[in-house]
Amino acid sequence: FNADDVIFSVMRQKDPKHPYHNVSQGNYEYFNDVGLDKLITDVKKLDDYHVQFTLSEPNAPFLADWGMDFASILSAEYADAMLKKGTPENVDNWPIGTGPYALQQYKADSLIRYIANPNYWDGAVPTKHLIFSITPSVETRLAKLKTNECQIIPAPSPVQFEQIKADKNLTLHSVEALNVGYLAFNTEKKPFDNVLVRQALNYAVDKKAIINAVFMGSGSVAKSPIPPNMMGFNPDLKDYEYDPQKAKALLKQAGLEKGFETDLWSMPVQRPYNPNSRRIAEMIQNDWAKVGVKAKIVSYEWGEYLSGLRKGEHSSALYGWMSDNGDPDNFTDVLLSCESIQSGSNAARWCDKKFTSLIDQAKRESDPATRAKLYQQSQVIFHEQAPWVPLANGKTFFATRSNVSGYSVSLMGSDFSKAKLN
């Protein structure tokens, strides 16, 4: 692992003429979503273990961005060998690295098998084998855990919590995750281009009822695009209380006293910030019906859903975000800036120049306290303009066999390097 590997991994994503830019479909959404394609003007090798980045402007989240998955450092030497062999796709399909485990087997949509890396830089890995059995069904995952077919499962359903707690062979763990679940209005489409309509439908959603019925202790009501345990969260921000009468009054003011019809996209997947999208969509549908808005719930396969959101095909859609790097820029800029409309990550397709100006200032500011104040100011604009209905901040849960130790889940992911069976 040296400077050549860093330069390879950066330039592969940045330079369209790089021999690996279009390998494996060349999809660098995250690299572009966080603006690194424009921010990095040059990267050069100083010696084997030092590189120098030249940026187009100061950028406080830059180092945090390099802790994300898309910024994984790949082997330049391996890439050269695979290119000469005529199998450049092996760099992505059969990667090598410096982690605790080495890839041993991969079966699409079925299995990933790893073996301990004997040369791991942080010492001996306590578990020789690490096997991921890809199991979409939450019921099947728990059944496998109970029979000891597996020892760790992610994201058990809230309705399974009591069952897990009652089993002496199982342990339920949780962490206050950095995430937000929300409903985005497509502000480029009528009537959601009218701020009065967006405000009205914020008042029309009973968020506390959703938290109680769907999250069952696994989440709390959200009021901001920034999670409450993250730098820059505005604790003084007032939320939209559930008030159908106020919602009706605002719709009347917007010239929609008789209501309107719209589509409501429901995610086909389960996430900590949205453990049951269909149920949440039905509750919002019911709430909106009380103020005269008829919402048709639709859903698509996950890839098609994401593609449709990026193209702006929806009118309103349930979506969410989990922190990739612990920095508030990862929420505000990626999800709500004017520029992120073009990249497709701004599902509300909302562009407010004052909001974007504040978060751009925060990106260029190195002092954390000053950055926090700028983000807090930006949330006031977000609240007034209401491009979303912020719904929930969800906890991340996982369950293990009780004899598993050393496995940990941080705010951003899992660490298997110290996990072992006792």
- Give the pLDDT confidence of 186-230 residue by residue, as tens digits: 999 999 999 999 999 999 999 999 999 999 888 999 999 999 999
CA-to-CA distance for 113 and 103, rounded, in angstroms?
6
- Give the pLDDT confidence of 62-102 residue by residue, as tens digits: 999 888 888 889 999 999 999 999 999 999 889 888 999 99
List, edge to edge, every strand of the sheet that includes 170-175: 152-154, 396-401, 170-175
CA-to-CA distance for 132 and 135, rounded, in angstroms?
9
- Give the pLDDT confidence of 362-396 residue by residue, as tens digits: 999 999 999 999 999 999 999 999 999 999 999 88
Of the listed ranges 330-334, 357-361, 418-422, the one predicted with least confidence? 418-422
- Tell me, what's the pLDDT at 118? 93
What stretches of 89-213 adopt beta strand conformation (E)? 101-107, 111-116, 129-133, 152-154, 170-175, 179-185
Please check whether residue 150 is in contact with residue 144, taking contact to mean a CB–CB distance below 8 angstroms: yes
| Residue 157 identity (one-letter amino acid) | S
Which of 299, 301, 307, 294 lies closest to 277 in space, CA to CA? 299
Please check whether residue 246 is in contact with residue 203, taking contact to mean a CB–CB distance below 8 angstroms: yes
The residue among 33 and 37 whose pLDDT is bigger is 37
Q: Is 58 exposed, middle or buried (0-12, 13-18, 19+ CB in 10 A)?
A: exposed
- Tell me, what's the pLDDT at 383? 98
Please check whether residue 398 is in contact with residue 416, taking contact to mean a CB–CB distance below 8 angstroms: no
- Give the pLDDT confidence of 151-197 residue by residue, as tens digits: 999 889 888 999 999 999 999 998 888 999 999 999 999 999 999 99
